[in-house]
Amino acid sequence: MQLVVARIGRAHGIKGEVTVEVRTDEPELRLGPGAVLATEPAGTGPLTIETGRVHSGRLLLRFEGVRDRTAAEALRNTLLIAEVDPAELPEDPEEFYDHQLMDLDVVLADGTEVGRITEITHLPSQDLFIVERPDGSEVMIPFVEEIVTEIDLAEQRAVITPPPGLIDASQAVIASARDDEGDDGAPVAGKDV
């Protein structure tokens, strides 16, 4: 099975290094020297990692045969794909591969059906489950411990405790500093401000 483990960013320096946006919790395993990775677009690869280092909090890689800035810049936005055994699991029991989470049923703590995970989006600050609801609409669920309280692979479900308004917009709580002010911006009589 193939997993996207990184996306190549811009060139760094003049000797063929590139920044990478890491998309794996195991970069030392997947992005180490000697790793051979497929690519998307496929015509760019396969690429073999020659060296890797961290600089200012970013992972920099150099690939075999890429010796200058021009060649490195030509790789920009290429996805790096590792071949992984589908039975392989992450070392940490609280971590999951995308393929393990796809198509899980999403339910509330009381068992109420929310929908099914159809996509996982990786953002810089957190991951999001894209959940298709029974009516065909979609809802985005942040994959954070406070909201996704349980992943049960045996039962093929994800249990969530969403804040008001995440699943049903009519339950949203609107908070505004203007509640304590009149139309002219002056404090409203009888309210502590």
Rg (CA), the chain: 23
- 67 and 17: one domain? yes
- 73 and 112: one domain? no
| Distance of alpha carbon 147 from the chain centroid | 15
Q: What is the pLDDT of residue 169?
A: 62
CATH number at residue 22: 2.40.30.60
> Could you give the CA distance from residue 27 to residue 111 in angstroms, rounded to a whole number?
36
Number of neighbours of residue 164 by Cβ within 10 angstroms: 11
**How many residues would you count in the chain?**
193
Q: Could you tell me if 126 and 144 are in contact, meaning their C-beta atoms sit under 8 angstroms apart?
A: yes
End-to-end CA distance of the chain: 59
Q: Could you tell me if 175 and 186 are in contact, meaning their C-beta atoms sit under 8 angstroms apart?
A: no
Q: What is the pLDDT of residue 193?
A: 45
Q: Is residue 62 part of a domain?
A: yes
- 73 and 133: one domain? no
Q: Is residue 89 part of a domain?
A: no
> Could you give the CA distance from residue 20 to residue 79 in angstroms, rounded to a whole number?
9
> Could you give the CA distance from residue 95 to residue 183 in angstroms, rounded to a whole number?
50
- 26 and 65: one domain? yes
- 106 and 39: one domain? no
Q: Which positions ≥6 away from 130 have C-beta within 8 Å? A: 117, 118, 119, 120, 121, 138, 140
Q: What is the pLDDT of residue 132?
A: 93
pTM as predicted: 0.56
What are phi and psi for residue 73, nearest 5 degrees?
A: -65, -30
- 141 and 68: one domain? no
- 162 and 107: one domain? yes
Number of neighbours of residue 120 by Cβ within 10 angstroms: 16
Q: Is residue 189 part of a domain?
A: no
Chosen domain end from 55, 83, 111: 83
Q: Is 43 helix (H, G, I), strand (E, B) or coil?
A: helix
- 76 and 124: one domain? no
The tally of domains found in the chain comes to 2
pLDDT tens across the length of the chain (193 residues): 787 888 999 999 899 999 998 877 777 778 889 989 999 898 888 999 999 998 888 889 999 999 999 999 999 999 999 887 766 666 677 778 777 888 999 999 898 899 999 988 877 778 889 999 999 999 999 999 899 999 988 899 999 999 888 887 666 556 655 555 555 555 555 545 4
Look up the domain containing 105 and give its range.
98-171
Q: Is residue 91 part of a domain?
A: no
